Amino acid sequence: MTDVLTLALDVAREAGELLRGHLREPLAIREKRERADIVTLADDASEALIVKRLRAAHPSATILTEESGVHAGSDEERWIVDPLDGTTNFAHGYPLFCVSIAYERAGELIAGVVYAPLMGECFAAERGSGARLGELPLRVSSIERVADAMTCTGFHPAHYERNGKQFAAVSNRAQAVRRDGSAALDLAYVACGRFDGFWEFGLSAWDVAAGTLLIRESGGRVTTVEDESEPSTAGSILATNGRLHDELRSVLLTA
Ligand code: 2AM
Ligand code: CA
């Protein structure tokens, strides 16, 4: 395991435990830019801890975070951090939330960690070395058809109408569609074969960077919904076991 992955794992676990501690407190919640886009003290505290720890151990890299933006550093190396993915779940005590930390060198994803403290699960991937859940090596599912698939999606407030149509279209074809509320964790669940496919619109790099590497290192495929572009800045993501990617895309694009 490289130093970078060890650092990401240590920091994600520390931040996850901090989030767990904040769950017992009354939550101060404020709305951000849009209705239903909320942030809690826990988001800010987790982010402060992560930035401090990454800066101390690895001072040269840029750090991109959800809440405080870009902490400037080298162009070559970048951490991409969501200190709490699934804030709405967290705020209601629903256990599907996580810390997501990815590390990029020269624009390529090198390491990614998704830690869900209430589930007690830590997913980690390193470019070229595979992905693991704890000690267990990960593999995407072998489901071949949407008809046999358990899929998941997320609803961004700007896209409810399209989401509704696509949710209905996939529900009519697949075994199931879930809407779990933490994109980073949903992607980790594709990597370990619980979900066969996931799609969402309106996500940002911090929601998808670690999960994208987890899936690619587990044998899956990650693109945008529309085409083969990289999803991190493109505005949509389609992430599957690879086998049903084209079929799921065609169901979504004709919905
Ligand atoms: P967050 O909890 O870090 O904000 C849920 O579908 C996914 O979308 C989550 O990963 C969530 O990340 C993100 N999300 C939820 N509401 C959002 C909003 N209003 N704007 C941007 N992202 C949002
Ligand atoms: Ca977040």
Over residues 36-87, the pLDDT tens digits come to 677 888 999 999 999 999 999 999 999 999 999 999 999 899 999 999 999 9
Q: Mind listing the pLDDT tens digit for each residue in 230-242?
A: 987 768 999 999 9
List residues bridging with 158 in a β-sheet.
Answer: none
CB of residue 82 inside a 6 A radius of ligand 1: yes
Q: Are 131 and 161 part of one and the same domain?
A: no
> How does residue 25 score in pLDDT terms, banded at 50, 70 and 90?
confident
In this structure, are residues 214 and 187 in contact, taking their beta carbons and an 8 Å threshold?
A: yes
Region class of 194: left (phi > 0), else alpha (psi between -120 and 50), else beta: alpha
In this structure, are residues 64 and 51 in contact, taking their beta carbons and an 8 Å threshold?
A: no
3-state helix/strand/coil string of 69-103: EEECCEEEEEEEEEEEECHHHHHCCCCCCEEEEEE
What's the total number of domains in the chain?
Answer: 2
Q: Are 157 and 244 part of one and the same domain?
A: yes
Task: Please give the model's pTM, rounded to 2 decimal places.
Answer: 0.96
Q: Are 184 and 86 part of one and the same domain?
A: no
Question: Residue 204 CA: which ligand is closest?
Answer: 1
CB of residue 86 inside a 6 A radius of ligand 1: yes
Check whether 201 has a pLDDT greater than 70: yes
Q: For residue 169, what is the domain's CATH number?
A: 3.40.190.80
Q: How far is CA 146 from CA 167, 200, 211, 222, 238, in A?
A: 13, 17, 21, 16, 14
Q: Mind listing the pLDDT tens digit for each residue in 95-110?
A: 999 999 999 999 999 9
CB of residue 34 inside a 6 A radius of ligand 1: yes
Give me the pLDDT at residue 39, please. Answer: 85
> How does residue 33 score in pLDDT terms, banded at 50, 70 and 90?
low
Q: What is the Rg, in whole angstroms, of the alpha carbon atoms belonging to the chain?
A: 17
Q: Are 220 and 95 part of one and the same domain?
A: no
Give me the pLDDT at residue 32, please. Answer: 74
Domain span including residue 249: 146-253
